[in-house]
Homo-oligomer: A and B are copies of this chain.
């Protein structure tokens, strides 16, 4: 998308967003995130809240204070008053995780209508890891023999080439219906879409997909969108960081254990008295370590 000559508008503007509009941020080997339009800015969030709470909130809160109050107390509807639109390109397996976020608008490339391009994801060598043992869903951090990484990449690439040749034989030479021929294509194939979402739901998406438990590949897309969001609505992003991203939730049992620790009990006996054990105990121990810094 070449940038058209800037135009004049009466709409709310975000200088930070304007700066980045139209710029493709490369992700993985062939993917990207490209912000293409937005609606609203930090001030529109505040203005929507003042419709609810009345002009007298002006005495109590300045704009930043009110916005932080909204985020802190989960008054989420004013954040729905901003909207953003991205063009994105990503492997199908990433798209499949992404689409689970239902409160969004999507137009995706259809392989019934168009022929699949020869574009597949192969992970960078350093991103090839073995299955984590302690975590059913993730990768292990441990070092892995470079020769194995190379073999993995080679196997993937070879399979992609062979599969794409079969796809071409089916959809091209034999003239088989595209909707059928595409069934051989792997979920490493790149797809594209335009994705539009309001800021509240985007932040919810980010809180899930920036999480260390999210798969690396989708996390990189989330990070690119988080970077745009910081430029677009800096106050909302800051509040999101302070009250959501870097916030810590303590369960009823954890609160009980913490109360005992603050009262002078040692950690082990406080946890036991509070009833924390097994996985929950390990989670609390990790939280305490994080709190202690």
Contacts and interface: CB of A to CB of B under 8 A. Distances in A.
Contacts of A38: 11, 39
Interface residues of A, number: 129
Interface stretch (A1-9, A220-228, A229-237): A1-9
Contacts of A11: 7, 9, 11, 21, 37-38
Nearest to A130: B175
A119 interface: no
Total identical chains: 4
Contacts of A251: 72, 242-243, 246-247
B109 A198 contact: no
B107 A81 contact: yes
B106 A100 contact: yes
Contacts of A52: 107-110, 113
A99 B95 CA distance: 11
A206 interface: no
B107 A78 contact: yes
Interface string A43-59: 01001110111111100
